Amino acid sequence: MKSQDDMPPPDRLPTIDGDRVSLRWIETRDVDDLFALFSDPRVTEFWSWPAFTAREQAALLLAAIHRHFREGSLYQWGIVVRGEDRLIGTCTLASIDRTHLRAEVGFALASARWGRGLMGEALALLIDHAFGPMGLQRLEADVDPRNLRSLALLERHGFVREGYQRERWRVGGGVQDSVLLGLLARERPPRP
C-alpha cells in the first residue's frame, strides 16, 4: 500500500463545497471573470498591485496560478455560488511551507457580492482545508490597515494581530503599511 508521500501530486485542486459557495479549480474559461474581478479598483484598492487594465493580465495570472500550483507553493481556488459556476472571487493559500506547516491566506470577492457573507463562508472552507487535509498548523495574513472589512473578517475567524510593518508595499505611486495576523490550528475558535 502506498503512503501519501508516495502518491503523485494531484493535477488540480479539489472542489470544496459549502452551503452557498464552492471553491474550485480556476480554468481557462474563467479568464474573463478573473479580469472583471481584478480590474475593479474597489477590489484591488488595498492589494499589492494596481487594478488590471488588460485581459492579458488575467491570462498571465491564471498561468502563474497553475505554475505555482505545480510547484506546490500556491493554491488559489475560484469562488463560485453553488448552482451558478461563474467565478465571483478567489481564495488563496500562498507561500505554502510544508516544513514549517504554514501558509498565507488571501482572498478577493467581486464588489457586487460584498455584504452577503459569501466571503466568510469561503474563508471558513479554506481554513478547514488548510488545517484539515493539508495538515497546516499556522495561517498568516498581510492586510493594509485601511482595509477594515478584511481585518474584521479575519478576526471573526480567529486571526490575531501580531505585528505592523510600515511602508511595506509601493503600489500605483503610493505607499502601504501592513497589519500582520496569524491563526494557529490549536487556537482556532468554532466557526463564526
Contact by Cβ (8 Å): 147, 156: no
Written as nine digits, the cell of 66 is: 497553475
Integer CA distances (angstroms), 162 to 128, 180, 181, in order: 22, 6, 5
Q: Name residues whose C-beta falls within 8 Å of residue 160's C-beta, 6 or more positions apart in sequence.
A: 181, 182, 183, 187
- What would the pLDDT profile of 161-192 be if each residue is shown by its tens digit? 999 988 888 777 788 889 999 999 999 887 76
Q: What is the pLDDT of residues 96-126, one digit of tens each?
A: 999 999 999 999 999 999 999 999 999 999 9
Q: What is the mean pLDDT of residues 155-166?
A: 95
- Structural domains in the chain, CATH included, are 12-137 (3.40.630.30)
Is a pLDDT exceeding 60 seen at residue 152? yes
Tell me what pLDDT residue 61 has. Answer: 96
Confidence of residue 149 (pLDDT cuts 50, 70, 90): very high
- Output the 3-class SS for the chain: CCCHHHCCCCCCCCCEECCCEEEECCCHHHHHHHHHHHCCHHHHCCCCCCCCCCHHHHHHHHHHHHHHHHHCCCEEEEEEECCCCCEEEEEEEEEEECCCCEEEEEEEECHHHCCCCHHHHHHHHHHHHHHCCCCCCEEEEEECCCCHHHHHHHHHCCCEEEEEEEEEEEECCEEEEEEEEEEEHHHCCCCC
Any idea of the CA torsion for 64, 69, 72, 77, to the nearest 10 degrees? 120
Radius of gyration of the chain (CA): 16
Average pLDDT over residues 137-142: 97
- pLDDT tens digits for 28-63? 999 999 999 999 999 998 887 889 999 999 999 999
Q: How high is the pLDDT of residue 3?
A: 40
Q: What is the mean pLDDT of residues 3-28?
A: 81
Instruction: Please tell me the predicted confidence (pLDDT) of residue 150.
Output: 96
8 pLDDT band (50/70/90 cuts)? very low
**pTM for the full model?**
0.90
The residue type at 9: P
Residue whose cell numbers read 498561468: 63
Tell me which DSSP letter residue 118 carries: H
How large is the average pLDDT for residues 132-150? 95
Q: Which three cell numbers stand for residue 192?
A: 463564526
